Amino acid sequence: MRRYRRVAFLLLAPSLVLVALFVYGFILWTGWLSLTNQNDLFVPHVRFVGLANYLRLFHHPRFLIDLKNTLTFSLIFIPGSLVLGLVGALLLNTGVRGEGFFRTVFLMPMALSFIVTGVAWRWLMNPSSGLNLLFSALGLGFLKSGWYTDPAVGIKAVALAAVWQLSGYTMALYLAGLRAIPPVFYEAAEVDGASPWQAFRYITLPLLTPVTLSAVIVLGHISLKIFDLVIAIAGISGGPAFSSDVPALFMFVTTFQANRFAQGAAISIVLLVLVSFLVIPYLYWSLRREVAE
């Protein structure tokens, strides 16, 4: 037994070292960088400046807009993907013909990279082409919009594209969840005289909770870290008046265009903290469940 443990350790060691260095090591390095004055390509005397970079950040108009945009994005993107995914899964689960075909069609967007989706949606949502032309042709002119070029819409337009891309993914998750519910529950409910709505409300939904939770975690961390979709749709300036801007984009510009490395590191640490608010409770919850089982 002990020999096996030694072999196991030896086999794991390379990846442990690499992860320790390239993931956790660099997170620590970024944390340290965010507390220094390294705000140029070459700073002769690197010194500790405390929380100065963070203070500046929370007074920066662009960063405050970014935080608000992240919230708006999450509020559209997460519920949107969940609801569309659930509806799709329920419809497919009724045993419709050609289920495999529809499943593939709805899942396909997930196989695309955000950059591809972004470029396609940039054309679709260009005010003088795409969707607007379609709406006029259908007599739905009132639906026309400036999309991402209108400061009042901005990030909401980006969130629509994100919903399109990931609702197929939540659908697949929910479909798997639905298939895992034993049919006897429904049979028992029928015997007890439950209506289909009651069966859905008191059997399906509660048993799908773990699936919903996993989906919220995955979608939530995507919405906090979103970068490629925004840059492909709204461009590197984050749209007019930063209406589509997000913290990750601001971080990229701050670090690689303005050379303010410490400031950029501070943005990424703030992002890390935000994501950990989401991930740590989830890890805690899933570990506890594993132990209970």
Partner 1 sequence: MKLGKWSAGILLGFALAGLALAQGGKLEIFSWWTTGGEAAGLFKLFELYKQKHPGVEIINAAVAGGAGSNAKAVLKTRMLGGDPPDSFQVHMGHELIDTWVTTGFMEPLDQLYKEYGWEKVFPKGVLALLKWNGHYWSVPANIHRANVLWYNKAIFEKYGLKPPKTFDEFFAIAEKLKKDGIIPLALGDNGIWASTHLFETVLIGTLGPEGYKGLWTGQTDWRGPGVKKALETFARMLDYVNPDHAARSWDQANDLIIQGKAAMYIHGDWVNADYLAKKFSGYGWAPAPGNYGVYDALSDTFGLPKKAPHRQEAIWWLELVGSKEGQEAFNPLKGSICARTDCDPKLFNPYLQWAMQQWKTDTIVPSLAHGAAAKESWLAAINDTMSLFVTNKNVAQAQNMLAQACVDAGVCTR
Q: What residues line the site for partner 1 (CB under 8 A)?
A: 39-42, 61-62, 126-128, 146, 148-149, 151, 234-243, 253-254, 256-260
Provide, for the chain, the percentages of residues in helix, strand and coil under a 3-state DSSP scheme, each rounded to the nearest 5.
75, 0, 25
d(CA 237, CA 249): 8
CB 244, min distance to partner 1, A: 10
State phi, psi for 48 to the nearest 5 degrees: -75, 130
Identity of the residue, 218 or 234, whose beta carbon is nearer to partner 1 in the bound complex: 234
CB 137, min distance to partner 1, A: 19
Q: Rounded to whole angstroms, what are the CA distances from 173 to 11, 26, 70, 214?
A: 33, 33, 24, 9
Contact predicate 282/261, CB 8 Å: no
CB 134, min distance to partner 1, A: 17
As a whole number of Å, the CA-based R_g of the chain is 24
CB 174, min distance to partner 1, A: 36
CB 253, min distance to partner 1, A: 6
| Cα atoms found within 13 Å of the Cα of residue 98, Cβ hemisphere only | 4
Burial state string for 88-115 with b = 16 or more CB within 10 A and e = fewer than 16: bbeebbeeeeeeeeebeebbebeeeebe
d(CA 64, CA 11): 46
CB 243, min distance to partner 1, A: 8
Residue 83 burial (CB count, 10 A): 13
CB 241, min distance to partner 1, A: 4
Identity of the residue, 103 or 144, whose beta carbon is nearer to partner 1 in the bound complex: 144
Residue 48: strand pairing partners = 36
Identity of the residue, 153 or 217, whose beta carbon is nearer to partner 1 in the bound complex: 153
Specify the amino acid at residue 228.
D
Identity of the residue, 60 or 221, whose beta carbon is nearer to partner 1 in the bound complex: 60
Identity of the residue, 96 or 258, whose beta carbon is nearer to partner 1 in the bound complex: 258
Identity of the residue, 145 or 212, whose beta carbon is nearer to partner 1 in the bound complex: 145
Identity of the residue, 88 or 238, whose beta carbon is nearer to partner 1 in the bound complex: 238
